[in-house]
Structure 1
């Protein structure tokens, strides 16, 4: 999942503000809620893009929908609406969460496997790969991809560790063609 430069900048600014005010964890939890709401309700994002609603109406919708969230998150969402960046909400949330996790020595790892990984497998992967990327632990998101046949592909930030059978067969094929 690629994050835009705009989302990264907003996330960094929000993170610094939350850090100054001791609200990093609160803002992270709030952004997890916002991200989930936007993922579960794609119509909300479409509604916020609608030219039929004014900026004031869009802000009012956000304030009503997320009334229990921190003022920092609400103000950031309002600012995104003002600057016509409301399509960046999910990416902003992802970027902020990665910043917060990174500050605690944790990285986000997207693991692609042919079958669902058990908790024990995820813990073993976290232990094995965290040191490789200079972190204490990994927060693992397991994505099942039956086309892999077997093995794992792990993406941590910009690094990809590909130990899938599919990839090994491709490497073997390249070697044999030489």
Structure 2
């Protein structure tokens, strides 16, 4: 737990600095795209994560790899931020910083992240219905959806917004029914 607290104390100031830089240059949307690209790169390659986190690897080698991966794909200021993280030996926190940046930007814009689990791919109409339901539940100006497919829920959806969970899945309904039937009358 101590490790998590220290990590959080390191991540927050960097994410706030990145957001401040983005706001001062009207690049918040660009940095959101850039951070999304970085998160996708890291998620796709465990080798890249290990390479960047390894303290024995020369910082110049890390910078060169980052430049090669992001050339003409991220804004120059964002690339400079990446180089700063390498110089300060904080590049191992890159994914957490990018995620925190996106969280801070959503909070600033009154946008909530809704994690949606469904048994099948949602249609555009169903996505819209989920967005409207979440707006009603939270009072948010807008909703960002993170959708995952899990056939084990059998049907319906499970929506998680922060600590709130709205379970409209068939599996959840069956579980509630079995608990209700097990109660003595």
The offset of 1:46, in angstroms, is: 1.8
Partner deviation per Cα, 1:125-170 (whole Å, 9 max, x = no partner)? 1012113112122121221101101221111233221222222222
One of 49, 60, 63 as aligned partner of 1:59: 63
Partner of 1:146: 151
TM-score, normalised with respect to structure 2: 0.80
TM-score, normalised with respect to structure 1: 0.83
Alignment CA distance shift 1:8-1:134 (3 Å)? farther
Partner deviation per Cα, 1:66-98 (whole Å, 9 max, x = no partner)? 233234322332333344433332232222223
Unaligned runs of 5+ in 1: none
User: Counterpart of 1:35 in 2: which secondary structure?
Assistant: helix
Q: Is the 8 A contact 2:39 2:95 kept in 1?
A: yes
Partner of 2:23: 19
Unaligned runs of 5+ in 2: 1-6
Alignment CA distance shift 1:112-1:5 (3 Å)? farther
The offset of 1:113, in angstroms, is: 0.7
CA RMSD in angstroms, aligned pairs only:
2.4
Alignment CA distance shift 1:52-1:27 (3 Å)? same
Partner of 2:3: none
**Is 1:31–2:35 an aligned residue pair?**
yes
User: Counterpart of 2:94 in 1: which secondary structure?
Assistant: helix
User: Counterpart of 1:141 in 2: which secondary structure?
Assistant: strand
User: Counterpart of 2:127 in 1: which secondary structure?
Assistant: helix
Aligned residues: 176
User: Counterpart of 1:11 in 2: which secondary structure?
Assistant: helix
For 2:171 and 2:11, the matched residues in 1 are separated by 34
Q: Is the 8 A contact 1:27 1:72 kept in 2?
A: no
For 2:123 and 2:11, the matched residues in 1 are separated by 33
Q: Is the 8 A contact 2:114 2:134 kept in 1?
A: no
User: Counterpart of 1:94 in 2: which secondary structure?
Assistant: helix
Partner deviation per Cα, 1:92-118 (whole Å, 9 max, x = no partner)? 222222332343332221100111111
Q: Is the 8 A contact 1:113 1:146 kept in 2?
A: yes
